Amino acid sequence: MTPVNDPIGDLLTRVRNAQSAGRTQCRASLSKIKLQLCELLVREGLLQSVTVEGTAPKQELVVSFLTDHPVLALKRVSTPGRRVYRSVEELKPVENGFGIAILTTSRGLITDREARLKKIGGELLCEIS
């Protein structure tokens, strides 16, 4: 297996491809930020569940999708070659409030709504609608 330069982009692509193929779940290699991202999506009601399988160092994330939810539109904003940072004043609602943006801040991964409430900005990882 070839090394991945953008692990978050790889996770989003795996989820996007699995949902397009009509699968109920997908697998990805484990990292802390990927696990936090998936748990945030479960908390927001966009994914059904996320579990960790295997033993270290060969652990995998198993992401289960909601069957009654349409295919998620996942868009990677900040990449390893081009980091995108937004202050709280620059954060605009995604899809007129129907989508979410995920930011990494000094307080961990949060949605754009939470960032506006807490009045903090950060790196804009992705947008989901």
Same domain, 44 and 84: no
Same domain, 29 and 52: yes
Please give the single-letter amino acid code of residue 2.
T
User: Considering its fold, how many domains does the chain have in total?
Assistant: 2
Same domain, 56 and 13: yes
Of 43, 64, 85, which closes a domain?
A: 64
Same domain, 20 and 42: yes
In eight-state DSSP terms, residue 32 is H
- CATH number, position 50: 3.30.1370.30
- C-beta separation of 127 from 75 below 8 A: yes
> What does the pLDDT profile of the chain (129 residues) look like in tens digits?
678 899 999 999 999 999 999 999 999 999 999 999 999 999 999 999 999 999 988 999 999 999 998 899 999 999 999 999 999 999 999 999 999 999 999 999 999 999 999 999 999 999 999
| 3-state secondary structure at position 55 | coil
Of 42, 64, 86, which closes a domain?
A: 64
**Peptide linkage before 93 cis (omega within 30 of 0):** no
The predicted pLDDT at position 3 comes to 80
Residue 2 domain-assigned (yes or no): no
Count of other CB atoms within 10 angstroms of residue 91 = 19
Residue 36: which domain range? Answer: 7-64
**pTM of the predicted protein model:** 0.94
Please give the single-letter amino acid code of residue 127.
E
Residue 117 domain-assigned (yes or no): yes
Same domain, 83 and 115: yes
The predicted pLDDT at position 1 comes to 61
The predicted pLDDT at position 56 comes to 87
Count of other CB atoms within 10 angstroms of residue 117 = 11
Count of other CB atoms within 10 angstroms of residue 43 = 10
For 71, what's the count of Cα atoms within 13 Å in the CB-facing half-sphere?
14
Same domain, 94 and 121: yes
Same domain, 51 and 13: yes
Same domain, 33 and 54: yes
| 3-state secondary structure at position 112 | helix
